[in-house]
Amino acid sequence: MHKQPKSNLLVYGLHPTLEALHAHKSIDRILFRKGLYGERFQEIFQYVREEGIPFQYVPNERLNRLTRGNHQGVICLISPIQYEDITQIVPFLFENGRTPLLLYLDKVTDVRNLGAIARTAVCAGVDAIIIPAKNTARINEDAVKASSGALHKIPICRHDNIPETLTYLKESGIEIVACTEKAEAAYYGQSYDKPLCVVMGSEGEGISPAILGLCDRSVRIPMTGEIESLNVSVATGILLFEVFRQRSVE
């Protein structure tokens, strides 16, 4: 059965959607009816493209399942969290004498994994989680529930151009470390005391080659048995708490 979002997380219609955009609401994504056109639609679409807001063209039947109101071919899904900008967080961390610990999730599409990772990240002292604008799990009520509310306690930064974002981190003095089974070095033989951004990939595809190429080093979690990989939330916890352990030693 399709689960409808709560009414306060859904805006429909051309004018209400445009108002939500102008009010800088934190938007999860916008659904457009296939074949939609018109001046007001073009105004919305131009704003969406400029701001890097995720969008999708869907059949009219899907829109009708989400609301019985006059949606006019557009439904705006409001996020339960407020997205933040990593370029504002990093300077704040350095100015306050912090050693940044960031986490980038590359195409992690399972809502429960995302929620579990957020919970672990809060417990391990992660300063912010970065996600791509596309090909990532939706941060909805199910994700918040899976995180036990942790998604409200840690900055979530959604960026459209991830290579550009990671390059910014590198130029800011933050080392990018990928966790991948393709690495030669084991995670426990490494030092994590410097400013750091940990990169985790999806279970199906792992970290994309383009992102892996931007990483300063890669580590793996040694395993035995016939299973090829750990659940991404478990793997994230193992690496983050190794970072936590090292940074907690006096």
- DSSP calls for 111-149: HHHHHHHHHHHHHTT--EEEEESSSS---SHHHHHHTTT
Verify that 153 and 200 share a domain, yes or no. yes
Verify that 53 and 125 share a domain, yes or no. no
Verify that 93 and 190 share a domain, yes or no. yes
Domain stops at, among 78, 95, 118: 78
**More confident of the two residues 173 and 23:** 173
Q: What are phi and psi of 36, to 5 degrees?
A: -65, 140
- Amino acid type, 102: L
Return all residues near 130 (Cβ < 8 A) that are at least 6 apart: 86, 102, 103, 104, 105, 157, 158, 159, 162, 165, 197
Domain around 12: 7-78
Verify that 59 and 28 share a domain, yes or no. yes
Verify that 233 and 148 share a domain, yes or no. yes
Tokens of 226: 């016939």
Tokens of 167: 């390059």
Domain stops at, among 43, 78, 113: 78
- Measuring CA to CA, how many Å separate 171 from each of 146, 156, 168, 174, 195? 34, 21, 5, 7, 12
1 is a domain residue: no
145 is a domain residue: yes
| pLDDT in the model for residue 2 | 46
Verify that 110 and 182 share a domain, yes or no. yes
131 is a domain residue: yes
231 is a domain residue: yes
Verify that 43 and 103 share a domain, yes or no. no
Query: What is the per-residue burial (b if ≥16 Cβ within 10 Å, else e) of 113-131?
Result: bbbbbbbbbbebbbbbbbb
Verify that 170 and 186 share a domain, yes or no. yes
pLDDT in tens, 93-126: 999 999 999 999 999 999 999 999 999 999 999 9
Cβ–Cβ under 8 Å, residues 56 and 31: yes
CATH assignment of the domain containing 65: 3.30.1330.30
2 is a domain residue: no
Find the mean pLDDT for residues 7-11. 73
Give the pLDDT band of residue 153 (cuts 50, 70, 90).
Answer: very high
Verify that 98 and 31 share a domain, yes or no. no
Verify that 154 and 219 share a domain, yes or no. yes
CATH assignment of the domain containing 151: 3.40.1280.10
Verify that 50 and 119 share a domain, yes or no. no
pLDDT in tens, 27-61: 888 999 999 989 999 999 999 988 888 899 999 99
59 is a domain residue: yes
215 is a domain residue: yes
Return all residues near 16 (Cβ < 8 A) that are at least 6 apart: 76
Distance CA 94, CA 221 (A): 30
What total number of domains does the chain contain? 2
101: helix, strand or coil: strand
Domain stops at, among 47, 78, 109: 78
Find the mean pLDDT for residues 66-72. 92
pLDDT in tens, 183-218: 999 999 899 999 999 999 987 889 999 999 999 999
Verify that 93 and 58 share a domain, yes or no. no
Find the mean pLDDT for residues 234-238. 96
